[in-house]
């Protein structure tokens, strides 16, 4: 009897032994040196307090819980009310609404349109990157609302009506007529099951009503995310060809539009967000832009959502690296901390290098949206955005997988955030154009807009002389000049463009140790085929410490 309490105490102590403390009560912005540096560099220092406030909130236990709860309780579809009336509503857990309130309240859906000042897109990118680390799924309606504004501005009367609602800081869920709402969210519905990314094969039809600019839409959309939004930009075949339309969920007279949600998608990840199949049955819509030029009208929306795919991937990488560096700083194995073991330190440094390269690239791209009136910046963005979308979204998958492995079995259980990050990681590589779509988009830009190639090369050549970068640039120029079988080589070409651009940016703006490690491995060839194969001369410890978060 006397030994039992001691045995129980010993077991309790064993349960608490060698487990890291939770990564909580830290400021995600203060803990992210590459982001802080880039925010100032891109002319958005004025937003530091706002991003800092988000960083503090994102590190609280309350916010972390919202992310877990929103995924544990995914949205539910209610097609009919108890009287059999079609309502097509999606119900969300309160945690989802709290995430949305914070996002909208901090202007993540509208900051550049509310405050059109230098650095506004960069400021918004930094804030979106920080808050997405809490939960990525809710970023979908936030991103689409942000991206819909420039597309909608092509139709002045519609922009005047809707933009004030799209740029308020009030989150006002629920399907009601627009004039009665304090804020509105936008989505888009483009793809259909017979074509997917090949939207020119769309079969949804738009029939004129006889009133100027008004149409009735009939057809199905295969992947419509965030169907609870107040309005959508939709592509449909009008008499004059593929055209963009604005379709509200609730008509001006207060009745529901004929926008029917067939089912919610059962997705690998992104579970907090509702994605759906919808049917349009004489759904009322108004034309945006010119008839027959729907792709041109909606392309600016796609450009902005592609930027958010890059931001989302950078966000996933950063959170994965934060978790891995934190865990290994406390976990012991084979007599010492994991963070003191040379091979683990190599892995952590390699992950940190990839994360910083992506963060710097993300912010540089956001800056091009701020400088869109500059022809050189615009030409550079035309190529760099598709290049970055292709590459960073793929690298996020590998980074998250390796960070999960750093935790061992602890990283593979749902109580850890790593499984959620792992399921989320492939998403950005698929949405807004898969890898092949973006690689081919790069080829199209090079052939149609040669000034974009000149702008891209001018950008990468701005770095101070570095033998590794210089060789990589020379190799890239040879690749670009060789057009033989270039479509089959598109991924190889775009991959080289991405790492050369990242290397140049790191040499100019990154931590010197990170830049040296990146150039030695990614450009100089002193690297293996997996993370943790950086050259032995790398400043491993300083790189890891730069990226390890601290509890405050």
Can you give the pLDDT of all 552 residues of the chain as single tens digits?
Answer: 344 333 444 444 434 589 999 999 999 999 999 999 999 999 999 999 999 999 999 999 999 999 999 999 999 999 999 999 999 999 999 999 999 999 999 999 999 999 899 999 999 999 999 999 999 999 999 999 999 999 999 999 999 999 999 999 999 999 999 999 999 999 999 999 988 888 888 999 999 999 999 999 999 999 999 999 999 999 999 999 999 999 999 999 999 999 999 999 999 999 999 999 999 999 999 999 999 999 999 998 999 999 999 999 999 999 999 999 999 999 999 999 999 999 999 999 999 999 999 999 999 999 999 999 999 999 999 999 999 999 999 999 999 999 999 999 999 999 999 999 999 999 999 998 899 999 999 999 999 999 999 999 999 999 989 999 999 999 999 999 999 999 999 999 999 999 999 999 999 999 999 999 999 999 999 999 999 999 999 999 999 999 999 865
Query: What is d(CA 328, CA 340) in angstroms, rounded to the nearest whole number?
Result: 9
Q: Which of the listed CATH numbers 3.30.70.890, 3.40.640.10, 2.40.110.20, 3.30.565.10 matches domain 45-292?
A: 2.40.110.20
Nearest Cα residue to 356 out of 49, 3, 10, 34: 34
Both tokens of 299, joined, read: 């392309």
161 Ramachandran zone, left/alpha/beta (phi>0; psi -120 to 50): alpha
User: Is 238:287 a contact under the CB 8 Å cutoff?
Assistant: yes
Query: What is d(CA 380, CA 460) in angstroms, rounded to the nearest whole number?
Result: 10
Enumerate the β-bridge partners of residue 60: none
Query: What is d(CA 283, CA 311) in angstroms, rounded to the nearest whole number?
Result: 34
Q: What pLDDT is recorded for position 17?
A: 82
- DSSP class of 20: P
Nearest Cα residue to 519 out of 472, 551, 480: 472
Both tokens of 120, joined, read: 């506004």
Determine whether 462 is exposed, middle or buried from the number of CB atoms within 10 Å of its CB (0-12, 13-18, 19+): exposed
Query: What is d(CA 393, CA 400) in angstroms, rounded to the nearest whole number?
Result: 11
Query: What is d(CA 446, CA 449) in angstroms, rounded to the nearest whole number?
Result: 5
Q: What pLDDT is recorded for position 424?
A: 97
How far out from the chain centre does Cα 60 lie? 22
Q: What pLDDT is recorded for position 155?
A: 93
For residue 454, the number of C-alpha atoms closer than 13 Å in the C-beta half-sphere is 6
Q: What is the location of CATH 1.20.140.10 in the chain?
A: 296-547
Q: What pLDDT is recorded for position 16?
A: 59
Both tokens of 454, joined, read: 């000149």
Nearest Cα residue to 321 out of 284, 358, 292: 358
Assigned architecture for domain 296-547: Up-down Bundle (1.20)
For the chain, give the longest Cα–Cα distance.
91
User: Is 308:139 a contact under the CB 8 Å cutoff?
Assistant: yes
Q: What pLDDT is recorded for position 551?
A: 63
Q: What pLDDT is recorded for position 87?
A: 95
Q: What pLDDT is recorded for position 5?
A: 36
User: Is 236:205 a contact under the CB 8 Å cutoff?
Assistant: yes
């Amino acid at each position: 009897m006397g030994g039992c309490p001691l045995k129980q105490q010993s077991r309790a102590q064993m349960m608490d032994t060698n487990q890291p403390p939770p990564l909580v009560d830290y400021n995600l912005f203060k803990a992210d040196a590459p982001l802080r540096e880039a925010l100032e560099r891109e002319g958005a220092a004025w937003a530091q307090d706002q991003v800092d406030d988000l960083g503090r909130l994102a590190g609280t236990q309350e916010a972390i819980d919202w992310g877990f709860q929103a995924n544990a309780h995914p949205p539910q579809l209610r097609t009919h009310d108890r009287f059999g009336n079609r309502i097509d509503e999606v119900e969300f857990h309160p945690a989802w609404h709290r995430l949305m309130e914070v996002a909208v309240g901090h202007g993540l859906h509208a900051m550049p349109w509310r405050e059109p000042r230098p650095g506004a897109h960069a400021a918004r990118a930094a804030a979106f990157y920080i808050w997405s680390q809490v939960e990525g799924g809710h970023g979908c309606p936030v991103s689409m609302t942000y991206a819909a504004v420039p597309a909608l501005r092509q139709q002045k009367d519609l922009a005047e009506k809707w933009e004030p609602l799209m740029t308020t800081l009030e989150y006002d869920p629920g399907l009601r007529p627009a004039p009665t709402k304090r804020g509105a969210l936008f989505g888009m519905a483009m793809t259909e099951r017979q074509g997917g990314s090949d939207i020119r094969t769309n079969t949804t039809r738009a029939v004129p009503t006889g009133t100027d600019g008004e149409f009735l839409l009939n057809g199905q959309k295969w992947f419509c995310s965030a169907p609870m939004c107040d309005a959508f930009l939709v592509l449909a075949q009008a008499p004059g060809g593929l055209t963009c339309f604005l379709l509200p969920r609730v008509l001006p007279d207060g009745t529901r539009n004929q926008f029917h949600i067939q089912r919610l998608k059962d997705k690998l990840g992104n579970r907090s967000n509702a994605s759906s199949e919808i049917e349009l049955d004489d759904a009322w819509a108004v034309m945006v832009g010119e008839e027959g030029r729907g792709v041109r009208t909606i392309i600016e929306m796609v450009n902005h959502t592609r930027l958010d795919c890059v931001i989302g991937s950078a966000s996933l990488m950063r959170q994965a690296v934060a978790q891995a560096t934190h865990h290994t700083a406390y976990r012991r194995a084979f007599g010492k901390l994991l963070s003191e073991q040379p091979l683990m330190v190599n892995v952590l440094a390699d992950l940190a290098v990839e994360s910083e390269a992506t963060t710097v690239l993300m912010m540089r791209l956001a800056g091009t949206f701020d400088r869109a009136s500059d022809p050189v910046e615009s030409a550079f963005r035309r190529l760099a955005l598709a290049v970055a979308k292709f590459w960073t979204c793929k690298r996020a998958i590998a980074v998250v997988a390796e960070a999960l492995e750093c935790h061992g079995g602890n990283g593979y259980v749902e109580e850890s955030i790593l499984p959620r990050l792992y399921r989320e990681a492939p998403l950005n590589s698929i949405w807004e154009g898969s890898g092949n779509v973006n690689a081919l988009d790069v080829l199209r830009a090079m052939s149609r807009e040669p000034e974009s190639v000149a702008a891209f090369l001018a950008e990468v050549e701005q770095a101070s002389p570095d033998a590794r970068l210089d060789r990589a640039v020379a190799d890239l120029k040879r690749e670009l000049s060789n057009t033989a079988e270039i479509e089959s080589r598109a991924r190889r070409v775009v991959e080289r463009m991405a790492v050369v651009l990242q290397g140049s940016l790191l040499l100019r703006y990154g931590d010197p140790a990170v830049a040296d490690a990146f150039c030695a491995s990614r450009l100089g060839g002193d690297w293996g085929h997996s993370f943790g194969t950086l050259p032995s001369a790398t400043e491993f410890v300083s790189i890891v410490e730069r990226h390890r978060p601290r509890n405050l």
